[in-house]
Each structure stands twice: as structure tokens, then as C-alpha cells.
Amino acid sequence: MVCWRVLISGRVQGVGYRYSTRENAIALGVVGWVRNVPNGQVEALLEGESEQVNSLVKWCHSGPPAAKVTAVETHVETQAQALERFETFEIRR
């Protein structure tokens, strides 16, 4: 199991990015959350098997069709840092 915090920059709000991320996460078996950040970024916490999380992070570099991603930052989190155990993938406000 791995846990990554991801920050996505570009035109990623108002284009269905969070909803598409959730759909892809569920399809891959990744749990965690995604939310808009006030500065215009999208932030996600992704937890799952390494291969599935890597696949979702790769998808984050393009996002849904209306998005224009300019940068994706990833930070590895330890389970202790995440402090949460997820059962599903949710969209946070």
C-alpha cells in the first residue's frame, strides 16, 4: 500500500476534474479524496496498491478532456501522516 498527496495545477477547476478523478479512482480501486484548493489547484490524497496509484497519478497529468494540466506535484505520505483509513474515494469541499 502507498499513500500519495497530489497537487494538480492549470485549468483544473470547473472542468469536471474532481468528478473524473473519483470515477478513475473507483475504477482502479484507489481510495482517498479529491478537493478544489482556493488558489485554483486540485488536491488529492490517493491510497492503494502502488500500480493503481501510479496509474491514477499518470492520468492526473492529463485529466478530463476540458482540463489543461500544467503541473502535477506528488508527495509520498506515510500511513501515520495520512492519519485516515479510507474505505472509498470521496469528493471533499
- Taking CB atoms within 8 Å and a gap of at least 24, the contacts of 46-54 are 46/3, 46/4, 46/5, 46/6, 47/1, 47/2, 47/3, 47/4, 47/82, 47/86, 48/1, 48/2, 49/1, 49/2, 50/2, 52/28, 53/2, 53/4
**Is 36 labeled as catalytic in the residue annotation?**
yes
What's the CATH fold of domain 2-48+55-77? Alpha-Beta Plaits (3.30.70)
pLDDT tens-digit map of 52-84: 999 999 999 999 999 999 999 999 987 655 556
- Give the per-residue pLDDT at 36: 98
Given the residues 18, 22, 24, 35, the one annotated as active site: 18
Q: Check 36, 39, 54, 93 and give the catalytic one.
A: 36
Residue ranges of domains in the chain: 2-48+55-77
18 is a catalytic site residue = yes
| pLDDT for 93 | 85
